[in-house]
C-alpha cells in the first residue's frame, strides 16, 4: 500500500469524483496579465499532468472596483472567456480539473475606486474605500455571480469564492470594518448576509453540477476579528447556501502575525480545520505551510481535514502528486516557503516563479529538451548555482562531473540551514543530494579542481562561489572577531555581540545569536506564544499578547548606510525579521563609521564628519559585510586561453542569493 494512501484516495463530490485529496491552492502568478494565454495554459497544464486532484487559479476580479490592482485580470469580455477557455481545454486535455477563484478585494483593492462595507481604510492601503449603498451591494453580488457563470462558460470545473484573508466578503463579517446599521451590518446574522447571499446566488446561477469552494477565514489574527462561534455559524450557513467544499483561510493581510513564511511551523493552523470539520457536512480543506506528502498524509489520516491545499509547493514541483504516487517522493523539489521568487515577485509587479524551480511561470520559455549532442561537462562548486547546473544538465543527457572542495555539498545553503526559522533549507540540501545521485552526476567531494583536471571536458562551468568580505576595520589583535560562517558553524560567542553588516546574513546571524533553546519553528505551541496567536474561541480574531522568549545574547546590528537596517530584505518577509529582532531587543544602528575593533568592543562614529564617537560594548564582533567572488580558477583558465562559463557568486557576488544562483545555473544548463 502507498504510504500516501489517504492523500491519493478519491474524494466524491457527488457530481464529480476528484482522483486524490490534493488541491493546488490559488496563487497570483501575474501570467494572465501578460496577455500570453499559451503561457498561462502551459503553466496549469504542466501541473495537471503532475496529477494534482484539483487546481484553483489566481484570483480573478469580478469587476473593476474589486480588482486587487488596476488592470487585474477577470472575465469581463467574450475575448476574456475565450482566453480562459484555452486554459481549461489544455488542463482537461492533460486530465486535470480546475476551478477559478473569484477575488473581490474590497478595501484591499489598490485604487481610489475601492469599495467596502464602511469607509474604513485598511492600515496596509493608502486608499479609503467608498461605503456601498444597497444598490452598490447588489451590484457587487451580481458581478460575482456573473463571474461565476462566465467561469462555467469558459469551461472551468468550479469556482472558489474568496471569503478570507481580509478581502471584501471577510470585511463585512467584522465590526471594525463593517459599521453599518442596515440589513448588512449590526448583528452577526446581518454581517454574514453578504457571503451567504453570494454563495446562494452563485449556486443558483451555476447549477448543482459545478464545484463551489468557499474560502473561510478560520482565524482573522486582527483585533476584533471573528469569534469561533461566528466562524462555525458562517460555515454552516455557507454549506446550507450550497458550497461543495470549505477551504481554509488564515489571517488577514494586515495581520502582524506571519502565516505562510518559512519560520511558521509546518501545518501550524490545521488544528483549526480539525475543529471546524465536525461542525459541517461538506469536506474541509487544510491549508498553510503544508509542503510534503508525509505531512499531507498525516493531516488526512488523523482526520484533521478531508483534503489538503498546497499552493507554493506546486511552483517548486508540478509533479508533486505523480512523484508521491510513483514512490519517488524524495525527488519532490521542496518549497522552502521563502517567498523570494513567488510572493516577493508578485508584490514587485513581476511574474511569480520559484527559487527552487526557475521554470515555474516560464514553462514555455524554458522547455527541458534532451541535449542534441551529449557532452562531457565539468561543474566546479556544489553550491546552489553549481548543483542546479549539474542536475539540469545531467537530466538532459549530458555526462556531468561535479567537483566540490568541501567534504559536503550545499555551499552557502549549509549555513542558511543553521539559522533558526530556516530549517526548510535542510530539506533543500537533501533534495539536491538525492537529485545529484539520481541524475547520474559524478560527484567528486573533497576535490579542488585545477585547470589540468578540467582538460578533456567539452564545457566547464565555474560555480566556485564567494568568500566573506573583510571590511578592513582596524583591529586590536586581542579583540574577538569572527566571520559569519564560523559563527553559524558553532563557534563560541560571548554574551554581548556587535554585528558588522545588516544585510540578509547580518539579520540571520542576529536571529541565530539571540535564539535561546530550540527554534520555535519546530515547536508550534512556543511559536504561537511568541507571536501572540491565541484561540478564536477565547479571543475574537484569535490574538493573544505576544510573549517572546528572552534573548540569549545582547546584540547590536550595524550598517554604514544612513537608513533603517533591513530595508532591502524580502518584500513579504522583511517585516517578520525586523519584528523578530525587535522583540529580542536587538539594537539596530544605521549611518555608522567603523573606527576600530578593540577588546572592549566596537568603536564607531556617525555621519560624514565622524561625530559622536561611541563604544558598542561587545565580547565579540561578527563580520557580515557581504562577499567577494571566488574567481581564481576562472582567471587561471582564462590565462590558459580556456573558455568557461561563470555562474552564481563567482560571477557576481553583490547581493547574490540562492534564487539568482539557481536561476542562472538552470538557464545555462538548459542552453548547453
Cβ-based nearer residue to ligand NAP, 561 or 564: 561
655 binding partner (options ligand NAP, ligand SF4, none; Cβ < 5 to 8 Å by kind): ligand NAP
Among 98, 173, 212, 316, interactor with ligand SF4 by CB under 6 A: 316
Active site residue 484: no
The closest residue (CB) to ligand NAP is 503
Strands 620-623 and 481-483: parallel
Among 200, 315, 321, 485, interactor with ligand SF4 by CB under 6 A: 315
Cβ-based nearer residue to ligand NAP, 164 or 464: 464
By CB under 6 A, tell whether 569 contacts ligand SF4.
no
CA dist 624 → 465, 481, 486, 487 (Å): 16, 11, 11, 10
Q: Which of 167, 214, 484, 594 is catalytic?
A: 167
Cell of 531: 507571536
Q: C-beta of 420: minimal distance to ligand NAP in Å?
A: 13
Among 162, 173, 308, 342, interactor with ligand SF4 by CB under 6 A: 342
418 binding partner (options ligand NAP, ligand SF4, none; Cβ < 5 to 8 Å by kind): none
Q: C-beta of 500: minimal distance to ligand NAP in Å?
A: 6
339 binding partner (options ligand SF4, ligand NAP, none; Cβ < 5 to 8 Å by kind): ligand SF4
CB distance 557 to 581 below 8 Å: yes
Residue with cell 470594518: 177
Helix intervals (H) in 462-587: 484-488, 504-514, 524-531, 574-583
CA dist 342 → 43, 313, 337, 566, 659 (Å): 14, 11, 9, 20, 11
Contacts of 64 (CB under 8 A, 6+ apart): 70, 113
Region of 17-25, 235-243, 330-338, 645-653 interacting with ligand SF4 (CB under 6 A) = 330-338
Site for ligand SF4 (CB under 6 A): how many residues?
14
Burial of 113 from C-beta contacts in 10 A (0-12 / 13-18 / 19+): middle
Cβ-based nearer residue to ligand NAP, 402 or 624: 624
Contacts of 522 (CB under 8 A, 6+ apart): 265, 423
341 binding partner (options ligand NAP, ligand SF4, none; Cβ < 5 to 8 Å by kind): ligand SF4
Q: C-beta of 315: minimal distance to ligand SF4 in Å?
A: 4
Strands 496-500 and 620-623: parallel
Cell of 168: 471584501
Cβ-based nearer residue to ligand SF4, 24 or 623: 24
Residue 551: DSSP 8-state: P
By CB under 6 A, tell whether 387 contacts ligand SF4.
no
CB distance 481 to 596 below 8 Å: no
Cβ-based nearer residue to ligand NAP, 471 or 548: 471
Query: What strands lie across the sheet with 620-623, from one edge to the other?
Result: 481-483, 620-623, 496-500, 554-558, 587-589
Among 99, 161, 206, 341, interactor with ligand SF4 by CB under 6 A: 341
Q: Which helix (H) or strand (E) holds 512?
A: helix 504-514
Q: C-beta of 304: minimal distance to ligand SF4 in Å?
A: 22
501 binding partner (options ligand NAP, ligand SF4, none; Cβ < 5 to 8 Å by kind): ligand NAP
By CB under 6 A, tell whether 603 contacts ligand SF4.
no
Strands 284-286 and 399-403: unpaired
Please, how many CA atoms are within 13 Å of residue 577, restricted to the half-sphere of its CB? 29
By CB under 6 A, tell whether 161 contacts ligand SF4.
no
By CB under 6 A, tell whether 340 contacts ligand SF4.
yes
Task: Give the Cβ contact number of residue 93 at 10 Å.
Answer: 12
Cell of 647: 555562474
DSSP string of 378-417, one letter each residue: EEE--SHHHHHHHHHHHHTT-EEEEE-SSSSS-TTHHHHT
Region of 91-99, 151-159, 217-225, 336-344 interacting with ligand SF4 (CB under 6 A) = 336-344
337 binding partner (options ligand SF4, ligand NAP, none; Cβ < 5 to 8 Å by kind): ligand SF4
Strands 115-116 and 211-219: unpaired
By CB under 6 A, tell whether 337 contacts ligand SF4.
yes
Q: Which residues bind ligand NAP (CB under 6 A)?
A: 340, 469, 471, 500-506, 508, 559-561, 570, 624-627, 655-657
Give the integer Cα–Cα distance in Å for 509 and 497: 10
DSSP string of 4-58, one letter each residue: TTTTTS-EE-SS-EESSSEEE-----S-GGGT-HHHHHHHHHHHHHTT-SEEEEE
By CB under 6 A, tell whether 312 contacts ligand SF4.
yes
Give the integer Cα–Cα distance in Å for 296 and 47: 18
Residue 54's SS3 state is strand
**Which residue spans within 224-277 are E strands per DSSP?**
245-250
Cβ-based nearer residue to ligand SF4, 305 or 336: 336
Q: C-beta of 541: minimal distance to ligand NAP in Å?
A: 28
Give the integer Cα–Cα distance in Å for 342 and 355: 8
Region of 317-325, 333-341, 374-382, 453-461 interacting with ligand SF4 (CB under 6 A) = 333-341
Cβ-based nearer residue to ligand SF4, 39 or 107: 39
Q: C-beta of 662: minimal distance to ligand NAP in Å?
A: 13
By CB under 6 A, tell whether 429 contacts ligand SF4.
no
Cβ-based nearer residue to ligand NAP, 183 or 610: 610
The interface mask with ligand SF4, positions 527-566, x = CB under 6 A, is ----------------------------------------
Residue with cell 467584522: 174
Residues forming contacts to ligand SF4 in the complex (CB under 6 A) are 312, 315-316, 335-342, 354-356
Please give the positions annotated as active site: 167
Amino acid at each position: 500500500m502507498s504510504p500516501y494512501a489517504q492523500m491519493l484516495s478519491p474524494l466524491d463530490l457527488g457530481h464529480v469524483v476528484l482522483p486524490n485529496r490534493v488541491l493546488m491552492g490559488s496563487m497570483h502568478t501575474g501570467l494572465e496579465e501578460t496577455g500570453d494565454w499559451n503561457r498561462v495554459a502551459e503553466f496549469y497544464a504542466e501541473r495537471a499532468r503532475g496529477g494534482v486532484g484539483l487546481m484553483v487559479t489566481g484570483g480573478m476580479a469580478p469587476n473593476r472596483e474589486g480588482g486587487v490592482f488596476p488592470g487585474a485580470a477577470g472575465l469581463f469580455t467574450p475575448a476574456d472567456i475565450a482566453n480562459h477557455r484555452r486554459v481549461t481545454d489544455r488542463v482537461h486535455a492533460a486530465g486535470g480539473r480546475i476551478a477559478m477563484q473569484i477575488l473581490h478585494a474590497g478595501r484591499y483593492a489598490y485604487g481610489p475606486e475601492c469599495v467596502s462595507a464602511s469607509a474604513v481604510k485598511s492600515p496596509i492601503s493608502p486608499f479609503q474605500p467608498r461605503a456601498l449603498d444597497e444598490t452598490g451591494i447588489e451590484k457587487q453580488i451580481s458581478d460575482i455571480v456573473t463571474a461565476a457563470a462566465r467561469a462555467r462558460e469558459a469551461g472551468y470545473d468550479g469556482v472558489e469564492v474568496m471569503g478570507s484573508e481580509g478581502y471584501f466578503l471577510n470585511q463585512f463579517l467584522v465590526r471594525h470594518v463593517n459599521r453599518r446599521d442596515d440589513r448588512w451590518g449590526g448583528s452577526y446574522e446581518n454581517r454574514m448576509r453578504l457571503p451567504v447571499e453570494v454563495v446562494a446566488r452563485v449556486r443558483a446561477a451555476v447549477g448543482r453540477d459545478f464545484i463551489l469552494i468557499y474560502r473561510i477565514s478560520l482565524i482573522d489574527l486582527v483585533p476584533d476579528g471573528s469569534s469561533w462561534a461566528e466562524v462555525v455559524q458562517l460555515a454552516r450557513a455557507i454549506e446550507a447556501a450550497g458550497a461543495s467544499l470549505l477551504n481554509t483561510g488564515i489571517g488577514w493581510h494586515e495581520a502582524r502575525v506571519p502565516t505562510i513564511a518559512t519560520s511558521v511551523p509546518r501545518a501550524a493552523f490545521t488544528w483549526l480545520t480539525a475543529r471546524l470539520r465536525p461542525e459541517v457536512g461538506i469536506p474541509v480543506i487544510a491549508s498553510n505551510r503544508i509542503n510534503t506528502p508525509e505531512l499531507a498524509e498525516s493531516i488526512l489520516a488523523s482526520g484533521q481535514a478531508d483534503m489538503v491545499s498546497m499552493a507554493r509547493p506546486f511552483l517548486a514541483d508540478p509533479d508533486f502528486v505523480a512523484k508521491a504516487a510513483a514512490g519517488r517522493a524524495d525527488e519532490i523539489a521542496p518549497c522552502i516557503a521563502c517567498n523570494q521568487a513567488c510572493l516577493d515577485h508578485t508584490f514587485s509587479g513581476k511574474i511569480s516563479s520559484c527559487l527552487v524551480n526557475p521554470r515555474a511561470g516560464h514553462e514555455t520559455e524554458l522547455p527541458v529538451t534532451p541535449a542534441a549532442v551529449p557532452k562531457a561537462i565539468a561543474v566546479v562548486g556544489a553550491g546552489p548555482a553549481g548543483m542546479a547546473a549539474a542536475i539540469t544538465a545531467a537530466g538532459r543527457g549530458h555526462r556531468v562531473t561535479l567537483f566540490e572542495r568541501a567534504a559536503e555539498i550545499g555551499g552557502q545553503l549549509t549555513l542558511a540551514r543553521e539559522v533558526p526559522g530556516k530549517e526548510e533549507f535542510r530539506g533543500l540540501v537533501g533534495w539536491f543530494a538525492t537529485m545529484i545521485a539520481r541524475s547520474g552526476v559524478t560527484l567528486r567531494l573533497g576535490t579542488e579542481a585545477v585547470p589540468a583536471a578540467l582538460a578533456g571536458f567539452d564545457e566547464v562551468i565555474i560555480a566556485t562561489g564567494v568568500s566573506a568580505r573583510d571590511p578592513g576595520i582596524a583591529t586590536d589583535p586581542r579583540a574577538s572577531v569572527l566571520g559569519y560562517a564560523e559563527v553559524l558553524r558553532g563557534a563560541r560567542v560571548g554574551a554581548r555581540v556587535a554585528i558588522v553588516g545588516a544585510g540578509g546574513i547580518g539579520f540571520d546571524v542576529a536571529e541565530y545569536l539571540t535564539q535561546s533553546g530550540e527554534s520555535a519553528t519546530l515547536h508550534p505551541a512556543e511559536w504561537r506564544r511568541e507571536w501572540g496567536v491565541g484561540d478564536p474561541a477565547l479571543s475574537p480574531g484569535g490574538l493573544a499578547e505576544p510573549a517572546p522568549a528572552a534573548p540569549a545574547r545582547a546584540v547590536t546590528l550595524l550598517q554604514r548606510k544612513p537608513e533603517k537596517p533591513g530595508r532591502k530584505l524580502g518584500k513579504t518577509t522583511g517585516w517578520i525579521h525586523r519584528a523578530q529582532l525587535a522583540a529580542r531587543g536587538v539594537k539596530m544602528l544605521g549611518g555608522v563609521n567603523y573606527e576600530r575593533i578593540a577588546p572592549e568592543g566596537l568603536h564607531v562614529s556617525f555621519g560624514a564628519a565622524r561625530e559622536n564617537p561611541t563604544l558598542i560594548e561587545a565580547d565579540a564582533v561578527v563580520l557580515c559585510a557581504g562577499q567577494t567572488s571566488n574567481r581564481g580558477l576562472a582567471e587561471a583558465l582564462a590565462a590558459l586561453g580556456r573558455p568557461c562559463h561563470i555562474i552564481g557568486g563567482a560571477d557576481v557576488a553583490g547581493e547574490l542569493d540562492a534564487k539568482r544562483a539557481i536561476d542562472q545555473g538552470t538557464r545555462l544548463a538548459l542552453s548547453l
